[in-house]
Amino acid sequence: MEETISLKEIFEVIKKRIVLIVAIVCAAAVIAAVVSYFVLTPVYAGSTKFIVNQGKQDETANYSVNDVRYNVELINTYNDIIKSTAISQEVVETLNLDVQADKLADRIEVSSGNDSQVVTVRVEDESPVTAANIANTTVEIFQERLPDIMNVDNVTILTAAELGENPTPVKPNKKLNIAIAVVLGGMVGVGIAFMLEYLDNTIRTEEDIDRHLQLPVLGTISTIEPGDVRGQQFAQRQVQGERGGIYGTQK
């Protein structure tokens, strides 16, 4: 026979174990905050933008849509060139970085919008100065080497990576980490609450007897408080005193 659980029983279990659930949620939030603020190393990002256009063309010629589409198609090729070890190796040598060229290439992100000639080169590093220098140097070296690699000169730098007065790290996202920890803590807390309720085979009510033992209930014993016992004893003594007075009068 399959057991079913109602929505009311679910709320009763949560209410019964609410202290445990709240404790787990608070513990998860505290752990996430400590790890995010004091354990994880902040990571900064530097980004440079360049545009792919017709660097050299006849001033009297019309700039057609086909030219724009051709430049957009070139962006995919440029992305592969920027992330190649040929460019990253020269960046490592120029900046005297203590990192391998292939590892640096993996840290470089190149993106562009749909049908857009603007390309963004983004680099993350534990130092905001190093992140900005890598992004700027990568684009500069790519611009210098492009005519030799593809025999074209159609790249113009739009904006260089700049270092602000108070750089803000992009990682870790402290608020997001704490929010995720709270959600996961709530899920774990509720799961533990239902697991404890499932493992608890203590019989407390008449419904438990009927559900688990399938036996009829013949009677119940009410809970007696200490105050009730003292009150009964006082009433019994008073009755006995009255009876003693009656017997004394009859004599």
Q: Is 72 within the bounds of a domain?
A: yes
Is residue 229 included in any domain, yes or no?
yes
pLDDT in tens, 183-225: 999 999 999 999 998 887 777 677 767 766 767 777 777 776 6
Average pLDDT over residues 152-179: 89
Average pLDDT over residues 98-116: 89
Q: Residue 13: which of 198, 246, 206, 237 has the closest Cα?
A: 198
Has residue 17 been placed in a domain? yes
Residues 130 and 236 placed together within one structural domain of the fold? no
What is the three-class DSSP state of 49? strand
Q: Are residues 178 and 235 in the same domain?
A: no
Q: Which residues contact 224 (CB under 8 A, 6 or more apart)?
A: none
Question: Which residue would you say has higher pLDDT here, 209 or 237?
Answer: 209
- Residue 53, classed as helix, strand or coil, is coil
Are 152 and 223 members of one domain? no
pLDDT at 8 (0 to 100)? 83
- The reply to whether 56 and 133 lie within a common domain is yes
2 located within any domain? no
Same domain, 73 and 152: yes
Tell whether 185 and 212 lie within a shared domain: no
Average pLDDT, the chain: 82
Instruction: Tell me, yes or no, whether 16 lies in a domain.
Output: yes
What is the CATH number for 60?
Answer: 3.30.70
Return the pLDDT at 49.
Answer: 94
Distance CA 169, CA 176 (A): 14
154 neighbors 31 (Cβ within 8 angstroms): no
Whether 12 maps to a domain, the answer reads yes
Task: Note down the domain range covering 84.
Answer: 44-159
Domain count across the chain: 3
- Identify whether 164 is part of a domain: no
190 and 213 fall within a common domain:
no
Residues 30 and 81 in one domain: no
Per residue in 119-161, pLDDT (tens digit) is 999 999 999 999 999 999 999 999 999 888 888 788 889 999 9
Residue predicted with more confidence, 244 or 80: 80
Decide if 167 is inside a domain. Answer: no
Q: Looking at the structure, do residues 68 and 129 belong to the same domain, yes or no?
A: yes
Please report, to the nearest 10 degrees, the dihedral formed by the alpha carbons of residues 167, 173, 175, 179 taken in order.
180
Instruction: Flag whether the pTM goes above 0.85.
Output: no
Residues 220 and 190 in one domain: no
